[in-house]
């Protein structure tokens, strides 16, 4: 019986499953369980200080980053919602050193779940948008506890990717390889309702997102691109750009998905031994799949994100994604400046200051 005039997440997944008569329903059940975890996290985030979950947890994750209380809570919610159903062979989280072993009392399934339980958690105390990111892979050995290397599959092997954003409303955005669809949580029904079907990212844009405080460390291609954007109508681009930076990957991604833009967390020279800041398995791969399914692109600068073969579970990487025309331009600039430098234009003094007459 239809309880609403709109399509729920469950109904959407059932319709998708009907296209594949051989499907068992395990995949749909797994996404429903992921959605349940996101609902629970949304409630804790919405309670804010009233729930006593703000502030630091007094622990660090494998990357040496200080964990927030809600990092730990969200991680536990993902585990509890997904370990029991029998769809998963194993799970891996940004917040855990090693994959989570499914307890022996539960059956093991044919999928692997990777997740960042609370992206942008440093924004929690200032009440800014945060989210969760997840990726689903097929287990190489269904029904068997996976080895860490079983998770090291390129992004092209993802069967589902998605994120939840906890903002003025809670949204779940997913792709199962047939486009990108957004579902808004109806707090009265407790259901995700399809509100943004077949999302398409605008191919061009006048917005970019980057942490400008790192400008002195950027690669020449990135410096050139940002400088040209800042020159606006008088520069080679012939149009003005806006810069947006929320410092929450999910929030920046959602804005770009809906209205276009380009996000850049490029490789820089601060630590030549580190190829980037963001995590390939928990952040870059799922966001890249969503971007491509929406008509956009996702690269490191030189390489397509989804083609990269992971070498370790917590591998870091550069990430540039967004509107196709802009990402193609940045990719071309990386080719242009491979092996040669770029000199930032010097502004004339009278362009920066003037004396009132």
User: Which residue in 30, 20, 312, 19 sits closest to 160, CA to CA?
Assistant: 30
Annotated binding site: 94, 116, 118-122, 211, 277, 283
Cα torsion 308, 312, 313, 317 to 10°: value is: -50
Q: How many CA atoms lie within 13 A of 120 on its CB side?
A: 25
CB 78 within 8 A of CB 98: no
Residue 120 tokens read as: 């942008």
Annotated binding site for substrate: 119-122, 211, 277
DSSP 12: H
User: Which residue in 247, 319, 312, 311 sits closest to 276, CA to CA?
Assistant: 319
Annotated binding site for Mg(2+): 94, 116, 118-119, 283
> How many whole angstroms separate alpha carbon 182 and alpha carbon 199?
7
> How many whole angstroms separate alpha carbon 109 and alpha carbon 26?
8
How many Å is the Cα radius of gyration of the chain?
A: 21
Where would I find the H helices in the chain? Answer: 9-18, 26-47, 69-82, 220-231, 249-259, 285-293, 324-336, 349-352
């Amino acid at each position: 019986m239809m309880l609403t005039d709109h399509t729920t997440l469950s109904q959407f997944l059932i319709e998708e499953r009907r296209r594949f008569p051989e499907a068992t329903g395990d995949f749909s059940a797994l996404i429903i369980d992921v959605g349940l975890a996101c609902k629970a996290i949304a409630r804790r985030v919405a309670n804010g200080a009233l729930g006593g979950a703000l502030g630091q947890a007094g622990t660090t994750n494998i990357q040496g980053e200080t964990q927030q209380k809600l990092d730990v809570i969200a991680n536990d919610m993902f585990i509890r919602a997904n370990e029991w159903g029998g769809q998963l062979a194993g799970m891996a989280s940004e917040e855990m050193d090693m994959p989570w072993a499914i307890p022996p009392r539960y059956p093991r399934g044919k999928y692997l779940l990777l997740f960042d339980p609370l992206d942008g958690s440093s924004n929690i105390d200032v009440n800014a948008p945060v989210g969760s990111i997840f990726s689903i892979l097929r287990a190489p050995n269904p029904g068997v506890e996976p080895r860490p290397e079983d998770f090291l599959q390129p992004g092209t092997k993802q069967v589902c990717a998605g994120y939840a954003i906890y903002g003025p409303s809670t949204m779940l955005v997913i792709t199962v390889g047939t486009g990108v669809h957004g579902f808004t949580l109806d707090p009265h029904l407790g259901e995700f309702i399809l509100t943004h079907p077949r999302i398409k990212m605008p191919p061009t844009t006048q917005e970019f997102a980057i942490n400008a405080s790192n400008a002195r460390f950027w690669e020449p291609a990135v410096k050139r691109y940002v400088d040209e954007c800042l020159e606006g109508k008088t520069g080679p681009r012939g149009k003005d750009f806006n810069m947006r930076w929320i410092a929450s990957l999910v929030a920046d991604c959602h804005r770009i998905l809906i209205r276009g833009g380009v996000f850049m967390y490029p490789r820089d020279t601060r630590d030549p031994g580190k190829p980037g800041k963001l995590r390939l398995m928990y952040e870059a791969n799922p966001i890249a799949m969503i971007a491509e399914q929406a008509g956009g692109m996702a690269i490191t600068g030189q390489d397509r994100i989804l083609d990269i073969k992971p070498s370790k579970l917590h591998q870091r990487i550069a990430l540039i994604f967004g509107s196709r025309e802009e990402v193609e331009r940045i990719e071309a600039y990386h080719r242009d400046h491979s092996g040669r430098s770029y000199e930032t234009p010097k502004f004339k003094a009278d362009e920066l200051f003037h004396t009132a007459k």
